[in-house]
A and B are shown apart, each in its own frame.
Chain A
Amino acid sequence: MNDLDPIDRRLIAATQAGLPLVEAPYAQIAGQLGLTEAEVIYRLTALLDLGIIRRIAVAPNHYALGMTANGMSVWDVEDAEAETLGAQVGALDFVSHCYLRPRAPVWRYNLFAMLHGSSRGEVEEKRAILRDLLGPACRADDILYSTRILKKTGLRLRDG
């Protein structure tokens, strides 16, 4: 995307680790970058409108919040219905992320929904709710529990 000018890139670099927890965070960022607060707000708003910023928000730590069982549920859903059903699955409040992805020779599933619970039993209950919702449009499903985090780093962008 070529809509990013050097100032946008510096703004992204300055905020990708997070927003400062001060009463006027955009003014503080503006001070660091030699911009006005209004320009920072204007540019961030434009980046949000363009979809370059998906949202400005908190990311909860599922583990810390007691959601120690995390499963990637995967579903082989009729292509014609996948989009409509995906939107319904994504709207469930116990699904944190839901995606349509391509199938592969070793992989028949096209709908992915991350499920969280305080135990595998709870995750399985949620999986059963999904199975009911998807009904006959779903031909097969599975769930992959994470057994270990092997690596976790955030997205890092280069400055400028």
Chain B
Amino acid sequence: MTRPTRQTLPEGALDATDRAILNTLQEGFPLTPRPFDDAGAPLGLNGAQLIERLSRLREIGAITRFGPFFDAAAMGGDFCLCALTAPEADFDRIAALVNAHPEVAHNYARDHELNMWFVLATPTPEGIAETAARIEAETGLTVWQFPKLQEFFIGFRVQA
């Protein structure tokens, strides 16, 4: 359903109502029998209109997901941000070794001495250390673990 894109939408693709939807629905969505009606009301939309706009926003790739966000740790699993330093000449091979693990949820190249940053998501807390150890064995590189100690979340505002 998602369009994994790094493309930017053309100017004017979103109107003020679309931007209000993006800002408001990042905060939360009602758990009521007719949630689109309830969420749409403060935006001046009925449920059908809100659904139509959300469908379009998803189709054009303005949103990547709509629904519950689960906390892996609360479900008994864990998440951990990890980083390693891959030699430039060997970068793609190392990336392939890292990405081959299903526990690697995302992986980004970054411009720093620690040049590969990835997130491990495992169904058990022990899975993080186990997966990191396997990656270390396969790559011969140290996997530094940066687990989240505390999170401060507010979201991201689209200019209205």
Contacts and interface: CB of A to CB of B under 8 A. Distances in A.
A116 B156 contact: yes
B108 A146 contact: yes
A7 B98 CA distance: 34
Interface residues of A, number: 80
Interface string A22-47: 11111100000000010001001101
Contacts, number: 250
A127 to B, nearest CB: 15
Interface string A130-160: 0000000000001011111111111111100
B89 interface: no
Nearest to A158: B123
Contacts of A61: 3, 5, 61-64
Given A60-B22, A151-B107, A68 B68 contact: no
Contacts of A16: 67-68, 70
Contacts of B35: 25-26
Main secondary structure of the interface of A (DSSP, over half): mixed
Nearest to A101: B146
Interface in B134-153: 144-153
B43 interface: no
B25 A58 contact: yes
A98 to B, nearest CB: 4
Interface string A90-129: 1111111111111010110000100010000000000000
Contact of A151 (B65, B118, B156): B118
